[in-house]
Every structure is written in C-alpha cells, then in structure tokens.
Amino acid sequence: MTSQPNDLTSLKTVLYDAQSTTDTDSSVYYSLDSSHDLKRPAETSESPPPAKMDTLEKARKEFRITPPDWKNHMGAWAYLQSLAPQHRSMYLEKTQTDQRQRKGYMLGRAASCDIVFDDERISKTHCLIYMEAGSNSVAKGIRIFLKDLSSNGTFVNKKKIDRDQRCLLRSGDIIQLYRSNKLADDDYKHAFYRILFPGAYDVNACTDDYDVKQFLGKGTFASVYSAREIATGKLVAVKIIDKARFARNKRLSKTINDETIVMMAIERHPCAVGINYVYNEERLIYLIMDYVKDGELFNFVVDRKKLTEDETRFIFWQLFKTIQWLHNKQITHRDLKPENILLESKDKLHVKITDFGLAKILAKGERLDSQCGTPNYIAPEILDPLGERSYGLECDMWSLGVMLFICLCGYPPFSESTEGIPMKTQIKQGIYSFASPYWDDISSEGK
C-alpha cells in the first residue's frame, strides 16, 4: 500500500471533501461536535416575531402566484409553485446525466437540502420528492412520489402522509410541511407549494436507453447486469427486479421502494454506489446505478486468504467515514457484509458500499424492531425477542466489526460450524477467539 501515496492521498482528499459537504445533523451514535444537540427544538409560536410579521405582511400583499413557463424549461418534470411569499417556486429538472448530486429533491432545514427553510417547525431533512419513469403496453410516462422523513409530518391536500409509505403525487396537489388547525386553509403562514406537471414529458423504456450486457450477480428478488448507455457509451450497473416475485407481499414491495428512496435521498459520495435513474415498468423495475469494476470485497478476501493490517486499515477508514456520513443523515444500512462492499480499484483499494435494500431513514430518536440482515453479521440486539427488540444506527457498527475480523484473519468470528454452541448464542454472548495460527502475526492493535 505504501507504493501509491499519491492515490491514497487523492482519495482521502475526496473523502474529506464529501464529509465537509454533509449535513450537520447530529447522530445518536456519533458525537462529532460538542455543540450538537439531540434535544427537540424549542417550541415556536404559530406566528413569526412582529418585525418579521410586518415584512411578511408587506410581501404577502405584493405576492403573485407565478405560473410555470414550460417552454423555457423543457427538461423539467415538475414545478413547485409557491403559494406564499416566504417560499420560492422551483422547477424540478434533475436528469440521469447529472452526476453531482442526489437524484431526488430534498426539502428541509439542513444546508445540504435542495430547498432550504429557516423555520424550526420544519425538520432538517423533511421530505423527498423524486421521479420514476415508467411504461406499459399502452403508454410511457412518469410518476412522481413524495416521501415524508420528518418528525412532525408532511401534508398533501391537508392529509398527513404516513411516514412508512410514499405518496404518489398528482398535478395540482397542495404540499405543506406543517399545518395548523388554528389557521384558515389558505393562510399564507402555513401555505407552501402546489406541484404541477407538464402536459407531456418524453420518456423511454429502459431498453431504449441502455444496452444490457453481462450478468454480474443475483439476489433473492433481483439480478444485476452491466449495461451501456446508448447515447453516451457510459458503462453502468442495472439492478433488475421482477415485480411478480413480490406482487403479493407488501413487505417486500416496501423494501424495494425503501431502497429507491434512500438512494434518491443521498448525495454523491466517493464510497457509496449512486443511483442514476429508475424505470418502473409493467413487469420489471430497473435501477440504473454506478458500475464498480473490480467486484466484491468478499471474493477479494477469499482470493487473498486474508488482508494485511495496512490494507485492512485503509479499507475500513473508508467504510467508517462513509457509515459516519450515512448515520449523520439518520440512515442505517442494516446489511453490511463483504458481499455488499465493492472494489472500485483492487490496486488502490478504493471501496464502495452497495445494496441499500434494507436501509432505513430514521426519525430522530426512532428505534427499530424488525429482525433483518445476514445472520453472521447482525448485532446481538437484533436477535432479542420481538417484545424486547430495539435498535438503531449502532447496529451497523457491529457488522463492520465482524467484517474487520474476517479481513484480518480470513474466517468469521461467529459460525454455525462451531461445535456445541449455536451461532445465535455466540453472537449474544460475544463468544469468539483469536485462533492460532491465523492471528499469530496480528498486532495487539489489530486485535
């Protein structure tokens, strides 16, 4: 590893740049800044202070609702039409070729949001609006969804959106980030946006835009292929999901939606696989993602038997930085394992986290109770009985620890092959050993 200082230095610079642009949201696991406050914000009154009120009243009298100008925004797939002077109208027009940022539009107080509000009643990441292209035997078109991520709720046409569901938007829907029963429906103090769609928006089927090539791998409900974008020749990965496999299972259907939501919500990061586009078609869903050329960390470790301490240290420096970045956004991955870590470069040991199928965006203070993940890597608290089970972001740290163990010695700390002790008991009681000769040359720091 010491033979490539320039490569490592440049990657570290990119990683630090990515960290510096993230939200300053505090995490229930990381204490990155002593000024971070996990307390609920102080209650605010329904109305702004008098000086601000005077300014808003004046602006309200002069305010005019601005209609969309579709002719000069041919690429826009929606228009957020401001209904109050304190908010600005905005065209939603991110495309699959924009590699700089998240693919959805995040609304909230955090500086990294696409639309930022200076109001304590609004969560740092309040809601996400994103688009999926679709086609069937009759027509092609788009569908636009809203996902609530807030503590207090998002309202569409005065109805509070269920935080566990995404809302299919229709042209003309009214979106509010908070509402008060004390105010009239049209009161500007809680008026936000009307979303409008263009009369026509041209989309293709996935196979019109991409030439699907080599089979890369298969999971329970999806297969992954390499593909080339026909217009540019760019190599991508395509995750193809067969709708028939989960049509009768709402839980699995929600898992697919959650994966799309998480990937649409996060910005580009050098150590996380990004999403470019979603085609939700009649029989299949296509997720167009970054192509990562050198395969899984699992196969890399198997081929090498084990990694050196320096190699392991550099890989896990990237992983810890990336998980820290996700946790600061209140996102838990929940299925970290060597198979879900891809190598962008074997020579540079540049890795990327993939497969956000079990990932979850948590509300502040939210605890989870579903039992999920890969058995060898799940944290002890996930194995608790349902009535006692409670876990959060910290479950990812246990999984990283198991992976770290494997990279250093080449075998897992917990296994069903251990005689006399069920793997569940091994995990719950922390029963593992530094067996000889596998650990003989590992430093005390590594242990």
Write the pLDDT tens digit of every residue in 255-301.
Answer: 888 899 999 999 999 999 999 999 999 899 999 999 999 999 999 99
Q: pLDDT grade, residue 15 (50/70/90)?
A: low
Fold for the domain defined by 5-17+296-429: Transferase(Phosphotransferase); domain 1 (1.10.510)
Q: Comparing 296 with 1, which gets the higher pLDDT? A: 296
Annotated binding site for ATP: 239
N-to-C CA span, the chain = 21
**Predicted structure pTM score:** 0.80
Q: pLDDT value at position 389?
A: 94
Q: Residue 44 above 70 pLDDT?
A: no
Q: For residue 437, say if its preceding peptide bond is cis, omega within 30 degrees of 0.
A: yes
Where are the domains positioned within the chain? 5-17+296-429, 61-68+75-196, 206-290
Per DSSP, the three-state class of 220 is coil
Q: Which helix (H) or strand (E) holds 317?
A: helix 309-327
Q: Which of the 8 DSSP states describes residue 80?
A: E
Mean pLDDT of 205-230: 92
20 neighbors 33 (Cβ within 8 angstroms): no
Question: 275-280 and 284-290: which strand pairing?
Answer: antiparallel
Query: Which residue from 360, 405, 396, 353 is spatially nearest to 378, judged by alpha carbons?
Result: 396
Q: pLDDT grade, residue 25 (50/70/90)?
A: very low
Q: pLDDT value at position 31?
A: 25
243 neighbors 256 (Cβ within 8 angstroms): no
Q: Comparing 60 with 319, which gets the higher pLDDT? A: 319
Q: Catalytic residue positions?
A: 335
What share of the chain in percent tops pLDDT 70?
Answer: 83
Mean pLDDT of 419-445: 94
Residue 288 bridge partners (DSSP)? 238, 277
Tokens 């150590």 belong to residue? 271
Q: pLDDT value at position 6?
A: 43
Query: Which residue from 91, 83, 47, 80 is spatially nearest to 63, judged by alpha carbons?
Result: 83
Tokens at 66, concatenated: 């601005």
Write the pLDDT tens digit of every residue in 188-217.
Answer: 778 899 999 998 787 889 999 999 999 998
Tokens 């198979």 belong to residue? 339
273 neighbors 353 (Cβ within 8 angstroms): yes
Q: pLDDT grade, residue 221 (50/70/90)?
A: confident
Euclidean distance between CA atoms 120 and 117, whole angstroms: 9
CATH number of 61-68+75-196, picked from 3.10.20.740, 3.30.450.40, 2.60.200.20, 3.40.50.880:
2.60.200.20
Tokens at 18, concatenated: 């990515």
Write the pLDDT tens digit of every residue in 76-86.
Answer: 999 999 998 88
Q: pLDDT grade, residue 42 (50/70/90)?
A: very low
Q: Residue 66 above 80 pLDDT?
A: yes
CATH architecture for segment(s) 206-290: 2-Layer Sandwich (3.30)
Residues 6+ apart with CB under 8 A from 346: 294, 300
Q: Residue 55 above 70 pLDDT?
A: no
Distances (CA, A) of 289 to 106, 179, 257, 276, 444: 20, 37, 15, 5, 40
Kindly report the number of other CB atoms within 10 A of residue 95's CB atom: 11
Tokens at 414, concatenated: 């917990």
Q: pLDDT grade, residue 60 (50/70/90)?
A: low
Query: Which residue from 389, 357, 386 is spatially nearest to 374, judged by alpha carbons?
Result: 357
Any idea what the Cα angle at residue 18 is, between residues 32 and 229, rounded to 5°? 145
Annotated binding site: 239
